[in-house]
Chain A
Amino acid sequence: MSVEITISGECMTARITGDLDHHSCTQIRARIDAHLERHTPSLLILDMEGVPFMDSSGIGLIMGRLRVQKSCGGNLALKNTNLCLTKIVTLAGLSSLIIDKKHEGERVK
């Protein structure tokens, strides 16, 4: 499990690697929040390419960071979510956060 942070202008990207569950969320959240506080980007992108699995703890992490971003007038986006992640993000009503719609039209079964 790891997070790699990249800052480019007003945009901060967090590339997460590993399963996103209750166990890993604590450390990932701490790392992202430390950078969020320092840089207050207008857009936070969570790049999920290296995340094979996520449960509702990951949804909690996304909702919490979205709340932080909104409170500073910023926004949050998700990219590279696999089918498993897309399904749970959709169930949580957060599919509008996904910026690359590569699974759109595919049956999220």
Chain B
Amino acid sequence: MKTKNSMKLIFPSFSQNEYLARSCVCAFAAQCDPTVAELNDIRSAVSEAVTNAIVHGYGEGVGFVELSAKIDDELNLYIKIKDKGVGIEDVKKAMEPMFTTKPDEDRAGLGFAVMTAFMDRVTVRSSLGKGTTVTLRKKISSRQIK
């Protein structure tokens, strides 16, 4: 598979950048002519992953979130969300639906559940004290790259 196009966006972990991040990926994905439902799924999954990086990766501190995306010639969209925050101690546990380390802040604990439900594949690599990288993949239906 050959990469057709790619992008990278680096921004500080301010919550107002959540909108920037998901809008940017959706604008990038638009060249694959996705359906409205596919675009909604991508928007949701990116929003969850970026929010996790901001809320859990960096918490009260500020660091940079690196967002990159690429499309291959078979219309697979790959999105990578990388932070250099605290990392996740137990990735399996963190991915359980309703599990949250911040229940008092009205966190639903559904971030990974949304990513898993809305994307074809979710991969999480994390190292304590070093950060977390979430990779999302979604195949865009049929239509050709314009």
Q: List the interface of chain A (C-beta within 8 A of B).
A: 19, 21-23, 25-26, 29, 53, 55-57, 59-61, 63-64, 83-84, 87-88, 91-92, 109
Contacts and interface: CB of A to CB of B under 8 A. Distances in A.
A23 B18 CA distance: 7
Contacts of B107: 56-57, 60
A21 B37 contact: no
**Max chain B CB contacts within 10 Å: which of A21, A56, A83?**
A56
A83 B44 CA distance: 12
**Max chain B CB contacts within 10 Å: which of A60, A63, A109?**
A60
A92 B118 CA distance: 13
A50 B6 CA distance: 33
B119 interface: no
Contacts of B106: 25, 29, 57, 60-61, 63-64
B48 A23 contact: no
Interface residues of B, number: 25
Contacts of A21: 15, 18-19, 47, 51
B9 interface: no
Contacts of B43: 53, 84
A84 B19 contact: no
27 contacts: A19-B19, A21-B15, A21-B18, A21-B51, A23-B15, A23-B16, A25-B106, A53-B22, A53-B43, A53-B47, A55-B44, A55-B47, A55-B48, A55-B51, A55-B114, A56-B107, A56-B110, A56-B111, A57-B106, A57-B108, A60-B107, A60-B108, A63-B106, A83-B37, A91-B110, A91-B113, A92-B108
